[in-house]
Amino acid sequence: MKTIQRDITSYLIAGIFGVMLLAEGASFAQTTPSGTKASDKIRPYKVHISDAALSDLRKRIAATRWPEKETVNDRSQGVQLEQLQRLVKYWGTEYDWRKTEAKLNALPQFMTTIDGLDIQFIHVKSKNPNALPIILTHGWPGSIFELIKIIGPLTDPVAYGGKAEDSFDVVIPSMPGYGFSGRPTETGWDADHIARAWAELMKRLGYKKYVAQGGDWGSVVADKMAQQQPEGLLGIHVNMPATVPPEIAKALNDGDPAPAGLSDKEKAAYKSLNYLYTKGAGYAGIMVTRPQTIGYSLSDSPAGLAAFFLDKFNDWTFSGGNAEKSLTKDEMLDDISLYWLTNTGASSARLYWENNANNFNAVNITIPAAITVFPGEIYQAPRSWAERSYHNLIYFHEVDKGGHFAQWEQPQLFAEELREAFKTLR
């Protein structure tokens, strides 16, 4: 059984109800070249969730059938009943999606169709005409909400303690099957496909040169873009780098002790990854093997969806196991509500099935790459491993706060990291 578990883990680490996207007639900055197919055009959109969908959510929350309390005094059996009940009660009685919706609609949002699938994205241009374009990719169980707080510091660095020459034009797409992007109806939308789609998106926006950034799945997509080397991509930054050397990956998969001769940081990384392989990856095991099965629960039970996500918020924030020390209830519920209201629990889970690869094993990237290591990340990549994967490592920095959702938890720090990481590529 242990061998089977590790075999699975080696692969897995790796019409919307009530939702209307309303086209706006206002002019916008993007242009579509003459001769482009109508489906390729970039259309401005706003989001509106129907009153019926919000009412249905509250009714489902009120009708939740709860299990009994866990039989331990810690989180070893998963999300504790008391914490989840507090969050779900707040969701059903006090949380206000309309405020969140207004924040979204205050941002310039767009839609374009790539390879037959609608891709929704936010595009905020800096006032600086020499700003560096950057495409930012979220992960699971994150969304565009984990990236919104860094828009201001990136597009207007002067207002956040930076310099005008540090400006970025920011593009934030929702991945296929996530948020307001389309849900694939056929197989094939894996990380490689998403990476190609992002290159096409940046081309449609008219950018000749740009950089890419990502965490979680966003790191995987950024790595794929770096491997594909589309025209115009200057470099990447990732905060969940893929650095595990082959001999380390084999030892982890075989369940062996840490190999001899590792440095202290390499031993710490091995320990964190070993915990993930043996105890922390159950969430992904079901999604990489049975995304449709878990999707039924995520689509039918708000409390079930919230529990599945809160478990990872607790694990992956730099919070000592209590996500509310890093994120507010409203911030977590913005993200959870987005999945619920767009019914993307199943479609987002399928990305794990599509990927079918270990997302921590060493990559082979030759274009300029930058890495920031956060203390609350799933594992802290040692520089010694990073240099074996990212052969043109232009920036490597270990910071003292922030977790897996670093963009969400520490937006100011994260923006400062991107300014430094890409300084030499401007």
**H-assigned helices in 317-344:** 329-342
**H-assigned helices in 205-263:** 217-228, 246-254
How many residues make up the chain in this entry? Answer: 426
Nearest to 183 by CA among 343, 376, 404, 304: 343
| Rounded Cα gap, residues 343 and 367, in angstroms | 37
| Rounded Cα gap, residues 246 and 312, in angstroms | 27
CA distances from 12 to 7, 137, 188, 274 (A): 9, 20, 17, 14
Nearest to 222 by CA among 16, 407, 88, 89: 407
**Which residues face 395 on adjacent strands?**
370
CA distances from 348 to 40, 143, 294 (A): 24, 10, 11
In the DSSP assignment, the letter for residue 47 is: E
| Rounded Cα gap, residues 244 and 252, in angstroms | 10
Is there a contact between 364 and 307 (Cβ–Cβ < 8 Å)? no
Tokens of 247: 């001999």
Q: Give 33's contacts (C-beta < 8 A, 6+ positions apart).
A: none
Residues with a catalytic annotation lie at: 216, 352, 404
Tokens of 398: 């270990």
Q: Are strands 109-114 and 210-214 parallel, antiparallel or unpaired?
A: unpaired
In the DSSP assignment, the letter for residue 424 is: G
Tokens 């594992």 -> residue: 379
Give the count of alpha carbons within 13 A of 1, CB side only: 1
Nearest to 146 by CA among 312, 335, 307, 314: 335
In the DSSP assignment, the letter for residue 307 is: H
Count other C-beta atoms under 10 Å from residue 241's C-beta. Answer: 31
Hey, CA dihedral for 63, 299, 358, 235, is it positive or negative? negative
